[in-house]
Structure 1
Amino acid sequence: MPVEVSMRKRLRQQLPDAFRLPTDRDPAPQPRHLAAVCGWAAALGLGGMAVALRAFVGLIGAYRAWYAPTVIVIGLIGLTCTIAAFASVHQRRLPFALLGAASVSLVIGWIVTGL
């Protein structure tokens, strides 16, 4: 139990620092870093549009009760991870981990919409 409490306490301290708006005291992110995050997010956006088109076609096709909620949740997970990547752009590795999770979400969405 004490380990769980200390982990919660540490997360409460670290999460606000990882996901916060930058202040005047924060250095600007490196242009390469920002360009990489923006490029990856743009690619995810284009891929997300393709998945959304496939999802739309799937929604007007045969009725499956599980389809709409599943596609919506997968899309929201990917969108949340992408937004969080921009919110954490001042961190070194966190934006890329979040964009990786969004990429996994995009691939899962592509698979689900192909069913």
Structure 2
Amino acid sequence: MTVEVSRTKRLRQQLPDAFRLPTDRDPAPEPRHLAAVCGWAALLGLGGMAVALRAFVGLVSASRGWYAPTVIVIGLVGLACTIAAFASVHQRRLPFALLGAASVSLLLGWIVTGL
């Protein structure tokens, strides 16, 4: 029980530092780092448009009760991870971990819309 409390307390302290708007005192992110995040996010956006088109066709052509909520949740998770990557661009590895999670979400969306 004590381990969970300390882990929760530590997480509450670290999250606001990881996801915050930069201030004037923060250094600008390295241009290569920012370009890598932007490029990866752009590829996710293009892939997301393809998945959205497939999802639209799936919604129009078939009536499956689970399809719409599943596609919407997968898309929102991917979008939230991509937004969080930009919010944490001043961190070193966190944006790439979040973009990796968004990529997994995109892959899941591709699989689900292909069914």
Q: Please indicate the TM-score interval, normalised by the length of the shorter structure.
A: over 0.9
Query: Which structure 1 residue ranges, 4+ long, deviate > 2 Å from structure 2?
Result: none
TM-score by length of 2: 1.00
Q: Residue 5 of structure 1 aligns with which residue?
A: 5
1:113 corresponds to 2:113: yes
Deviation at 1:17, TM superposition (A): 0.1
Q: Residue 61 of structure 1 aligns with which residue?
A: 61
Q: Residue 70 of structure 1 aligns with which residue?
A: 70
Task: Give the number of aligned pairs.
Answer: 115
Q: Residue 91 of structure 1 aligns with which residue?
A: 91
TM-score by length of 1: 1.00
User: Deviation digits for residues 64-91 of structure 1, max 9, x if unmatched?
Assistant: 0000000000000000000000000000
Secondary structure of 1:26's partner?
A: coil
Q: Distance in 1 between matches of 2:104 and 2:9?
A: 29
Q: Residue 20 of structure 2 aligns with which residue?
A: 20
